[in-house]
């Protein structure tokens, strides 16, 4: 006997706890950032409370400030997810050489001003997005600009570096 999910969907269809799926465009854009280095970032949103989809793609030469701007483009009450290919220099202890590091991080942006229902939808769907984007080095949850700032993000990414 095979058990099907509500609506007759196959039990193997990737769903979040909220029932939200991840579009193929999300996975394709992620691969273009991770492997091909075509873009600097991507902003995702949940379309019609059913599917995570691509909203904005940042050019490879885009700055972090542009990413933050696009993350908030929906308005003060809107949540978003963002994936950013972050570059910085790292100096190992005991050496004089600095090396360039790149880390992909996934951010859940749910401002305090968003409605509770929207925050719940985004937080319960975040896991499905994380599972579909294999290779993300860090996940960050931000509710205001101090948590999403370039300095705060860099500090969290550096904490995962070897000394």
Inter-residue contact 153 to 140 (CB < 8 Å):
yes
Mean pLDDT of 95-122: 91
Query: Residue 90 belongs to a domain with what CATH number?
Result: 3.40.20.10
Look at residue 3 and tell me if it is in a domain: no
Higher-confidence position of 57 and 93? 57
Inter-residue contact 45 to 52 (CB < 8 Å):
yes
Look at residue 4 and tell me if it is in a domain: no
pLDDT digits (tens, 9 = 90+) for 68-97: 999 999 998 999 999 999 998 877 776 777
Tokens at residue 96, please? 């004089």
Please state whether beta strands 39-47 and 80-91 pair in parallel, antiparallel, or not at all (unpaired): antiparallel
**Average pLDDT, whole number, for the chain?**
88
Look at residue 77 and tell me if it is in a domain: yes
Return all residues near 112 (Cβ < 8 A) that are at least 6 apart: 143, 144
pTM for this predicted structure: 0.85
Domain count, the chain: 1
Question: pLDDT-derived band of residue 103, with 50, 70 and 90 as boundaries?
Answer: very high
The pLDDT of residue 7 is above 70: no
The residue behind tokens 């991840």 is 22
Q: What is residue 8's DSSP assignment?
A: G
Nearest to 103 by CA among 143, 51, 155, 45: 155
What is the sign, positive or negative, of the torsion defined by CA atoms of 46, 64, 105, 119? negative
For residue 133, the enclosing domain spans 21-161
Look at residue 89 and tell me if it is in a domain: yes
Which range has the worst mean pLDDT, 74-88, 128-142, 148-162? 148-162
Look at residue 14 and tell me if it is in a domain: no
> What CA–CA distance (Å, rounded) separates 118 from 74?
13
């Amino acid at each position: 006997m095979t058990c099907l999910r509500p609506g007759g969907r196959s039990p193997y269809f990737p769903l979040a706890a909220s029932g939200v799926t991840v579009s193929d465009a999300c996975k394709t854009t992620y691969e273009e950032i991770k492997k091909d280095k075509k873009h600097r970032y991507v902003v995702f949103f949940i379309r019609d409370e059913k599917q995570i989809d691509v909203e904005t793609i940042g050019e490879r030469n885009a700055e972090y400030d542009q990413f933050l701007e696009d993350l908030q483009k929906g308005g003060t009450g809107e949540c978003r997810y963002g994936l950013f290919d972050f570059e910085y220099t790292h100096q190992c202890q005991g050496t004089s050489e600095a090396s360039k590091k790149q880390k992909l991080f996934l951010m859940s942006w749910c401002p305090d001003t968003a409605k509770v229902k929207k925050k719940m939808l985004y937080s319960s769907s975040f896991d499905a997005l994380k599972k579909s984007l294999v290779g993300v080095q860090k996940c960050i949850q931000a509710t205001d600009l101090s948590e999403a700032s370039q300095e705060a993000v860099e500090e969290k990414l550096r904490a995962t570096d070897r000394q």
